[in-house]
Structure 1
Amino acid sequence: MAAFEMDACPGERLMRNRSRHRRRNRGNRPGGNSTQGGNTSSGQGNSEPNGNRVDGNIARPTSGQGGSGDAGGGRKGGGGGGGSRNRNRNRNRNRNRGGRRGRGQAPASLKRTPAEVEFLNKTPITPNEWIQLEKGSSEPAMRVMDLLCPVGKGTRGLIVSPPKVGKTTILKQLCNAVEKAEPDMRILCVLLDERPEEVTDFKRAVNAELFASSSDMGFQDHIKMAHRVYQEAVGTAAEGKDVMIVLDSLTRLARAFNTAATGTKTLSGGLDSNAMEWPRRFFGAARKLEEGGSITILATILVDTNSRMDEVIFQEFKGTGNMELVLSRQAAEMRLFPAIHVKNSGTRREELLLSKDSLEKAWLLRRKLAVASDMEATKTVVELIKKNKTNEKILAGIVGSL
């Protein structure tokens, strides 16, 4: 038995060499297939489908060119490893070419128009002309704004509003008050993603130029409408005239651009990293120009909506304006209208808008409200508005009480 095993070894080696030679010749033929290498006649020497001979636990390449062909067969002159790399490279190249055209680009063009370039080349300054809303309206909300957060030509103002606190009513009163107080100022009222019946109601209540894209329209319509209003305002201000934009709402504008901008990095709340570029440009256009002309923007922004995206949008715009009118849900629930959070509302550099006497009296009122709770302060202001027909009488009474 031992002699038989020794005699069988040379024959087995010969059969293995012949099998290896046949596999090598098949791999060198054009179109040859090296994946079908057969088994040897002995169970001790098996070949894998990729052309490697397995001897125990060690795999040895059978090709003399340093590698075996893969499932597609080798090229003439050696193994097929290079062909595999080329095929993978081509696949990656084709994958990078396809499916990315237009991704990450907002529908509205970011290219600046000549009118916009002319507008941006002028010198922006801090607002120093007061728009006295009380002259155009005796509504309590307008009088509270004059007292606590005055609006000037070129103001960049946020109306921070939870749902159902009366922001739409305040916007209507604001448009009508500015129309009467500043007859020469052009007023552009923009409603984005609002209910259709709300658009109709706004149209009947306000005489300003109304630009509306209701909730039954697509995000592309919202973007086109906002872009059109922006160009109108920039062109008017570049001519040295005053224009005001009343926008409802900045949150919905940002949502529309977030839907349009795809394929870039996603931030917290599902907000695309490029979605805020154009809304920031829109809101940042508000300014007073030293050479003449101004763009005033008063835009609502939504809070307390249980939406992480809305919260991120609010944080993006918080601090970018120079005036904030904060509405209070608690005051609205207590039926204290206008539901304005008087402690959190205010205007930066209000000393440039008000006279020295009016400023000192307004600061005295602030000091009196500071020692009260939030709701007590709101209640005090509402009662003062009801008892006195003008803000001048309110301030005079504050001075007399000290």
Structure 2
Amino acid sequence: MTVLTREVLEQSSLADLHALAGELAVDGFRKLRREQLVDTIVERRGGDASADTRSADAPSADDEGQGGRRRRRGGRRDEERSEPTSTDVVSLTDEDEDDRPRRRRRRGGDESAESPRDERRGREDRAPREDRDRGPREDRAPREDRDRGGRDDRDRGGRDEEGVTVEGVVAIGQNGSAMLKAQDGSEVYVSAGQVRRCELVDGDTVSGPTRTARRSERYPSLIRVETINGAPADEAATGTRFEELAVVRPTELLAIETQDPTVAAIGWLTPLGRGSRAVIAGPHAAGKSEALRRLGVALNAIDGLELLPVLVGVRPEELGDWKDSGLTPAVALDLSVGPDARAKAIDEVVDRGRRIAARGGHAVLLIDTLDGLGEGAARRILAAARKLQDGGSLTIVATREAPAGGESTVIRLDAALTTTGRFPALDLAASGTLRPELLVGEEGAAAIAAARQELQQV
């Protein structure tokens, strides 16, 4: 059993005295001065508060005669001390001794620093008195902050209170997060993690509970996604893979209305359907990029289509032309970017179109250009286009100097007609759509054949 005298207590650190006072259940011990704290501890342990007032710096005869070790200021011991005989002895049980500050001897004889427990006590002693008396920081927060819909993570262990349930359409941002626009016009923040986990895409109708915005936030946040396009989120996330969904031929015509002669000729002579796989082909200066952009303007006027322009390997000035036409590219890379980066960017947008189609939507990818990617990469990208049975569709229209193979529609431009300003600039002999009767009927297909024959004779 270890013993402490008044002398030892007076030379102990304030952290040690507070620890002893706390174990002895001394009320308000943090407000007592050192001398009062020592007297109180001695009295609580059955000693005499007025006894043994020897100086801490002058060792007694008993100390020197018995070769004992006494404690200096700061807790170091110079020599062993025998059992004191004074009546003001304070005894510590083994449990109390475990709570005393300890020093371990490291290799080389140095004494280690205070234990983490002692350091923590020291920080508490150095903290402002009003902080200690008023309790934890979160308890001192203004009541209106604690009562808000989304309480602080420290106050609730990282859990948020659920607020009202909202439903709305999501719009994905460039950083991966999204904003949900509710039916009442309010907006709710959707984290990038939820977008990835639930594979959300632009236009998805999402519902779920929310929490109110915190002090540093502008919008309320969606706690979790419960439904996607009316179906439970779990079912939407674990549904059948896009590649395994049943595919049918395109039968729904994309009715293009435009005053542009070349685009009007494309819509009439080489009809496109939801799920078509089309390539605008032609040599340099045939006007492929211009035709694709004007086609995109016409398609953007059709309701129910999610238009995704993908510009990779194009001239920098063409990026501005697309934006001026009211078409914001999903990806915009100029011709300085290598083929690997182009293919990766296209694949990311193709995956986005697949998710839209798998959930019953209709996506149209306008890709300028597939040149420089190789035959295999171009065919792989075009192969993603399809019409799903009883579902959505993914349509791809891309530019390329020559068809890649496997297209359902080839739109061949004539460079001679383009450079001389004669429109429409279609090479009718090299252009056409497979099974046009599925899109425009038998009579429409016959009318197309007659028009093509008449134009070829001009």
TM, length-normalised to structure 2: 0.46
Residues 91-124 of structure 1 show CA distances to partners (whole Å, capped at 9, x for unaligned) of xxxxxxxxxxxxxxxxxxxxxx988961111111
Cα drift, residue 229 of structure 1: 0.6
- Identify the match of residue 249 of structure 2 among 126, 148, 152: 126
Q: Give the direction of change, closer, same or farther, for the CA distance of 1:324–1:157 in structure 2 (3 Å limit).
A: same
What amino acid maps onto 1:291 in structure 2? D
Contact in 2 for aligned 1:156/1:283 (Cα 8 Å): yes
Q: In structure 2, do the counterparts of structure 1 residues 244 and 116 end up closer, same or farther at CA, with 3 Å as the change threshold?
A: farther
Q: Which residue of 2 aligns with 1:203?
A: 323
Encode CA deviations 1:108-155: one digit per residue, 9 max, x unaligned. Answer: xxxxx9889611111111110000112xx2211221012210010000
**Quick one: which of 391, 409, 423 aligns to 1:292?**
391
Q: How does 1:272-283 map to 2 (within 5 A)?
A: 276-283=375-382
Distance 1:116 1:142, change over 3 A: farther
Cα pair distance change 1:367/1:214, threshold 3 Å: closer
Task: Find the aligned partners of 2:415 and 2:280 in 1 and give their Cα distance.
Answer: 13
- Alignment correspondent of 2:268: 147
Once residues 292 and 343 of structure 1 are traced to their aligned partners in structure 2, the CA distance between those partners, rounded to angstroms, is 34
| Alignment counterpart, residue 347 of structure 1, candidates 419, 423, 433 | 433
Structure 2 gap ranges (5+): 1-198, 200-236
Partners in 1 of 2:299 and 2:400 — Cα distance? Answer: 21
Q: What per-residue deviation string (whole Å, max 9, x for no partner) do you get for residues 217-246 of structure 1?
A: 344432331121111111111111100111
Match of 1:156 among 274, 277, 297: 277
SS in 1 for 2:425: coil
Q: Is the 8 A contact 2:330 2:349 kept in 1?
A: no
**Distance between the aligned counterparts of 1:154 and 1:166, measured in 2?**
24
What do you get for the CA RMSD once the two structures are aligned? 2.2
The Cα of 1:277 is off from its aligned counterpart by: 4.2
Equivalent of residue 231 in structure 1, options 351, 358, 362: 351
Who is 2:423 aligned against? 337
User: Are residues 1:166 and 2:293 paired?
Assistant: no
By relative contact order (CA 8 Å, sep 6+), the higher-ranking structure is: 1
In structure 2, relative to structure 1, the CA distance for the partners of 1:217 and 1:285 (3 Å cut) is same
Q: Which residue does the alignment assign to 2:400?
A: 301
- More deviation, 330-339/286-295: 330-339
- The match for 1:176 among 275, 290, 297 is 297
Q: SS at the partner of 2:327?
A: coil
Query: What is the TM-score with the length of structure 1 in the denominator?
Result: 0.52
Question: Which SS does the other structure have where 2:373 is aligned?
Answer: helix
Residue ranges of structure 1 left out of the alignment (5+ in a row): 1-112, 255-275, 304-313, 377-402
Between the two proteins, what is the percent identity of the paired residues? 28
- State the Cα deviation string for residues 187-236 of structure 1 (Å, max 9, x = none): 11111111222212222223254311112334443233112111111111
After superposition, the Cα gap between the structure-2 partners of 1:367 and 1:222, relative to the gap in structure 1 and judged at 3 Å, is closer
Separation in 2, partners of 1:223, 1:117:
25
1:323, 1:186 → 2: CA distance? 20
Cα drift, residue 368 of structure 1: 2.7
> 1:116 & 1:166 partners in 2: Cα distance?
42
Structure 1, 117-126 or 153-162: larger mean CA deviation: 117-126
What is the 5 A alignment of 1:69-88? none
- State yes or no: 1:194 paired with 2:293: no
Give the Cα–Cα distance (whole angstroms) in 1 for the partners of residues 339 and 377 of structure 2.
14
8 Å CA contact 2:310, 2:366 repeated in 1: yes
For residues 220 and 292 of structure 1, what CA distance do their matches in structure 2 show? 32
What SS does the corresponding residue of 1:225 show, helix, strand or coil? helix
Q: Is the 1:188–1:245 Cα contact (8 Å) retained in structure 2?
A: yes
CA distance in 2, matches of 1:132, 1:162: 27
Q: Which residue among 433, 449, 457 is the counterpart of 1:363?
A: 449
Shift of 1:354: 0.6
Distance 1:207 1:116, change over 3 A: farther
